[in-house]
Amino acid sequence: MFSHIENGKVRMVDVSEKDVVLRIARAEGFIKLKKETIEAIKKGEVEKGNVIATAVIAGTLAVKKTSELIPMCHPIPITSVKFDYEFEEDGIKMTCEVKAFAKTGVEMEALTGVSVALLTVWDMVKSMEKDERGNYPETAIKNVRVVEKVKVPDF
Amino acid sequence: MFSHIENGKVRMVDVSEKDVVLRIARAEGFIKLKKETIEAIKKGEVEKGNVIATAVIAGTLAVKKTSELIPMCHPIPITSVKFDYEFEEDGIKMTCEVKAFAKTGVEMEALTGVSVALLTVWDMVKSMEKDERGNYPETAIKNVRVVEKVKVPDF
Amino acid sequence: MFSHIENGKVRMVDVSEKDVVLRIARAEGFIKLKKETIEAIKKGEVEKGNVIATAVIAGTLAVKKTSELIPMCHPIPITSVKFDYEFEEDGIKMTCEVKAFAKTGVEMEALTGVSVALLTVWDMVKSMEKDERGNYPETAIKNVRVVEKVKVPDF
Amino acid sequence: MFSHIENGKVRMVDVSEKDVVLRIARAEGFIKLKKETIEAIKKGEVEKGNVIATAVIAGTLAVKKTSELIPMCHPIPITSVKFDYEFEEDGIKMTCEVKAFAKTGVEMEALTGVSVALLTVWDMVKSMEKDERGNYPETAIKNVRVVEKVKVPDF
Amino acid sequence: MFSHIENGKVRMVDVSEKDVVLRIARAEGFIKLKKETIEAIKKGEVEKGNVIATAVIAGTLAVKKTSELIPMCHPIPITSVKFDYEFEEDGIKMTCEVKAFAKTGVEMEALTGVSVALLTVWDMVKSMEKDERGNYPETAIKNVRVVEKVKVPDF
Amino acid sequence: MFSHIENGKVRMVDVSEKDVVLRIARAEGFIKLKKETIEAIKKGEVEKGNVIATAVIAGTLAVKKTSELIPMCHPIPITSVKFDYEFEEDGIKMTCEVKAFAKTGVEMEALTGVSVALLTVWDMVKSMEKDERGNYPETAIKNVRVVEKVKVPDF
């Protein structure tokens, strides 16, 4: 195991010669929550404050930190970040769309944004999701995935 | 909608009066990958290098950045971070255990660690998971959740 | 000029021997805005979104980054951050209260929090405050100061 | 209140289609200090060390961190940061000029730079500005504003 | 001493008018280690885990943080980071090559990368290098220097 | 090679059960410079500004960032950072002393501080050290090492 490629080697892909084009990626993810929690978020009754705004802001900041969090990602000059959300019966679905003129795609940025936004939702409603032992029997982040990724060469 | 609690208000919970005790939390998550990708990781044949080591290191650094990423989290003096992983038939399960003597629990730290570790796995195997259009029809991060959380008051 | 103390010398105060006690500091500041901007914020009609929530979240994150921004500040384990705001006739007053059990006071944390919150208000309403040349003839951040600082030795 | 635009929505302006041109912005601000403190800074007699150099360096680093501090700011490839300062009778005025070839203006960068520089001045002279209760009856940061902002399309 | 140039003045070089060309820099450095430590690294027997992979990842992240660590460095959109290492009889030599299309050279990035990689090697093998008093009589980082720096104007 | 310990495993040492005591570490390092450069620094004639102050400030900030730069380092509440420097015939020697009440030693903090301070010296004098091809035939960072490390259990 781990014999073919030398194990100490980890490398950033060299994108020096790739073209700078408009890159767009959209990722989504879902957080499973209790019905009461969803109601409280909708009614603006969560003690810690505005859940969705906090999640969107945390996610936007995380998009800009992607190359600091994911070791082999390249720094990318983001030109747009847009979040959407949808209340479903048993949780919230969030979507994050990222744009940049760059030499490489922005799917890791969109995935990082949506992941941190969902983690922030969790943090904001911790007291409502916990059981009496302080555990979270039902809460879970699910199905974080890339919905679409495009390159717009003729922009 | 959003009328009961004023919408501009977002607040960090005041933990000043809580006791400093040993807190332990363990979170896990799963990334769905192609069989060929899993084989390549196991054999150490992934072009970008050592996938698991990179994921564990990124996850460890992310645990320490939690209060910077999740806006209402308190800074916590982490004393231990430990990752485990398991190859399953259709993906990899990662677990992250965090310890700290603190006034509040470390579940957000463990969840952040496991999320960033799984995002890093994705980044390391992008070229193997992409289809010809550059999209990821099968890859997904699933079931990120808290496995266990304890407080050890008599440590 | 600059002769008495050697100029290359800059030093962090050594607080190793000071007691860990509960420290509380409250800072405030004011941003002068156009009447129309204040109305738009109050009515939730600002294009970029929820101004106050964004400011409070940015300010809270900045409090936690103080020792990274102000070179000679010590890292401090913040236990509480609380923002308040008040609409005045020609602007918004924001207040930031910070608590920590620490060997040194938290006034720089409160001042940093309120400064970044006010800068964020500015950023959110840029399009409404700009004149036709893209300048800001009226906008200004004013009177950032420490309102109160206490040490609670017998907590 | 907060009804017209949905409150959870916060968004970064999409600047993808804007032109990359040379952007210059200059911001200034003032910190009110005791006469003795001003004298000590001028004479290089402040215990913690070189006040102005520390402020300029902290401000320069802060300019580069703007998109990390102000949630909806875009990351910008800064090409120049220049600080100036002037001793006045009751304080110090600092100016920060920022340049970049970018799709959006750099006024938030200049404002952030000058704010952090002034906060750093405060931190360096804390012991001289404090009263016997540890409070700051006279110190204040005043009139942080944009002095000039230009776009140089034909550079 | 320190009289010719005013001491509070520190300034970032204005690179606004310089051309964007491909910049490449390569730096190297050496860490002196005990023979037993080198053997343990080679055999993969170091308790804390994979020394080289951790050093390379830390170094890669550090390259991307250079403008945050070195106050007067410009933010640079790195397109490639590549590390190499060589076991010598009394230590390890590491090399870091950085590429970017930028208005200024990337030698500080390469030097920062190699320095942090070597510091990380040290951290990973601390327990093997320490003497019984917890000191490091033999360990040292040596000869960190720029091996080559080129500008490729006609790329 | 790399067979005994599984290669994906990297782990932070668990310091949960160690005692909190006063830890002090002192590291030093040397940067080799041209005689003219040393003279210019001494006379305060370096174009970019105050070399030593910039190096000390960068080094102090780096000490506080150690656990962010070195992946397996624990976050440590630093209580003191002190730099010293000495002009030698062919370069500058810098020393960095760090103190903290912590569960683990602060030698990596002192080493990181001195390394970043020396890298900053280099950056400040680049234009004087470069040859006509933009290379640095003489400049080098040498002999970064731990001078002393103590634990003060009975503080």
Contact (CB, 8 A) for D91 and D33: yes
Q: Which of F19, F84, F90, F123 is catalytic?
A: F123
Q: Does residue A84 lie in a domain region?
A: yes
Residue range F28-40: mean pLDDT, rounded: 97
Name the domain count of chain F: 1
Give the number of other CB atoms < 10 A from CB of residue A133: 11
- C8·F85 Cβ contact <8 A: yes
Q: Which residues of F9-44 are buried (b: 16+ CB within 10 A; e: fewer)?
A: bbebbebbeeeebbbbbbbbbbbbbbeebbebbeeb
Q: Percent of chain B beyond pLDDT 70?
A: 94
Q: What is the DSSP letter of F5?
A: S
Check whether C110 has a pLDDT greater than 90. Answer: yes
Q: Which of B19, B84, B90, B123 is catalytic?
A: B123
- CATH code, domain carrying E56: 3.30.70.640
Q: Which residue is closest to E47 within chain F, CA to CA?
A: F5
Check whether E2 has a pLDDT greater than 80. Answer: no
Check whether B114 has a pLDDT greater than 70. Answer: yes
- Residue numbers in E near D64 (CB within 8 A): 67-68, 75
Contact (CB, 8 A) for F120 and F58: yes
Q: Does residue B35 lie in a domain region?
A: yes
Residue range C52-72: mean pLDDT, rounded: 98
Q: Does residue E6 lie in a domain region?
A: no
Can you name the residues that pair with E84 across neighbouring β-strands? Answer: E95
**Radius of gyration over every alpha carbon of chain C, rounded to an integer in angstroms:** 18
Check whether E154 has a pLDDT greater than 80. Answer: no
Closest CA to F65 of D128, E26, B65, C7: B65
Contact (CB, 8 A) for D118 and D144: yes
D47 annotated to bind ligand = no
Q: What strands, in cross-sheet order, belong to the sheet with E78-88?
A: E78-88, E91-102, E21-32, E140-152, F140-152, F21-32, F91-102, F78-88
- E11·D101 Cβ contact <8 A: no
- Looking at residue E155, its pLDDT comes to 53
Specify whether B123 is catalytic.
yes
Band of pLDDT at residue D86, cut at 50, 70 and 90:
very high
Residue range B72-95: mean pLDDT, rounded: 97
Closest CA to E5 of F40, F118, D117, D43: F40
Beta strand D21-32 with C21-32 is unpaired
Q: What strands, in cross-sheet order, belong to the sheet with D21-32?
A: C78-88, C91-102, C21-32, C140-152, D140-152, D21-32, D91-102, D78-88
Check whether F2 has a pLDDT greater than 50. Answer: no
Tell me, yes or no, if C16 comes closer than 8 A to chain E by beta carbon: no
Q: Which residues of C does the annotation place in the binding site for substrate?
A: 72-74, 108-109
Q: Does residue A12 lie in a domain region?
A: no
pLDDT in tens, F100-144: 999 999 999 999 999 999 999 999 999 999 999 999 999 999 999
Band of pLDDT at residue C155, cut at 50, 70 and 90:
low
- Looking at residue D126, its pLDDT comes to 97
Active site residues of D: 123
Phi, psi of E143 (to 5 degrees): 60, 50
**Facing residue for E124 by CB, picked from F8, F72, F115:** F72
Contact (CB, 8 A) for E126 and E51: no
Burial (CB count <10 Å: 0-12, 13-18, 19+), residue D35: exposed
Domain that holds residue C42: 27-152
Band of pLDDT at residue B6, cut at 50, 70 and 90:
low
- Looking at residue C121, its pLDDT comes to 98
Residue with tokens 């990351």: D75
Residue range C91-119: mean pLDDT, rounded: 98
Band of pLDDT at residue D153, cut at 50, 70 and 90:
confident
- Looking at residue B9, its pLDDT comes to 86
- Give the mutation candidate from E43, E63, E81, E120 for the A interface (greatest A CB count, under 10 A): E81
Q: Does residue E109 lie in a domain region?
A: yes
Closest CA to E25 of E139, E155, E152, E147: E147
Burial (CB count <10 Å: 0-12, 13-18, 19+), residue F47: middle
Residue B83: its H or E element: strand B78-88
Q: Which residues of C118-146 are buried (b: 16+ CB within 10 A; e: fewer)?
A: bbbbbbbbbebbbeeeebbeebbbbbbbb
Check whether E32 has a pLDDT greater than 90. Answer: yes
pLDDT in tens, A83-114: 999 999 999 999 999 999 999 999 999 999 99
Contact (CB, 8 A) for E64 and E78: yes
CA dist A36 and A30 (Å) reads 17
SS3 state at C148: strand
Q: Is the ipTM of this complex over 0.95?
A: yes
pLDDT in tens, B48-69: 999 999 999 999 999 999 999 9
CA dist D117 and C144 (Å) reads 14
CA dist B28 and B153 (Å) reads 24
Residue range C24-35: mean pLDDT, rounded: 98
- Residue numbers in E near C1 (CB within 8 A): 7
- Looking at residue D8, its pLDDT comes to 78
Residue B69: its H or E element: helix B66-69
Amino acid at B80: S
Q: Which residues of F85-113 are buried (b: 16+ CB within 10 A; e: fewer)?
A: beeeeebbbbbbbbbbbbbbbbbbbbbbb
Q: Does residue D9 lie in a domain region?
A: no
- Residue numbers in A near B23 (CB within 8 A): none
Residue partners of C75: CB distance under 8 A and separation at least 6? B75, C67, F64, F75, F77, F78
Band of pLDDT at residue B1, cut at 50, 70 and 90:
very low
Alpha-helix runs per DSSP H in chain A: 35-43, 51-64, 66-69, 107-124, 126-129
Residue E122: its H or E element: helix E107-124
Q: Does residue E90 lie in a domain region?
A: yes
Band of pLDDT at residue B23, cut at 50, 70 and 90:
very high
Residue partners of F109: CB distance under 8 A and separation at least 6? F25, F63, F66, F73, F76, F78, F98, F100
Torsion of the alpha carbons at A47, A52, A53 and A55, rounded to the nearest 10: 100
Closest CA to E119 of F116, F39, D99: F116
Contact (CB, 8 A) for E37 and E125: yes
- Looking at residue F154, its pLDDT comes to 61
Contact (CB, 8 A) for F95 and F147: yes
F4 annotated to bind ligand = no
Band of pLDDT at residue A2, cut at 50, 70 and 90:
very low
Q: Which of these ranges, B129-138, C4-13, E115-124, F51-60, has the smallest mean pLDDT? A: C4-13
| DSSP-assigned letters across all residues of F33-47 | --HHHHHHHHHT--T
Tell me, yes or no, if A16 comes closer than 8 A to chain F by beta carbon: no
Phi, psi of F104 (to 5 degrees): -150, 160
Tell me, yes or no, if A122 comes closer than 8 A to chain B by beta carbon: yes
Mean pLDDT computed over every residue of chain D: 94
Residue with tokens 């909190």: F20
Band of pLDDT at residue E3, cut at 50, 70 and 90:
very low
- Looking at residue A9, its pLDDT comes to 87
Closest CA to B49 of E87, E55, A65, C60: E55
Mean pLDDT computed over every residue of chain B: 94
Residue E53: its H or E element: helix E51-64
Contact (CB, 8 A) for A26 and A108: no
Distance of CA B119 to the CA centre of its chain: 9
Q: Does residue D108 lie in a domain region?
A: yes
Tell me, yes or no, if A21 comes closer than 8 A to chain C by beta carbon: no
- Looking at residue B106, its pLDDT comes to 98
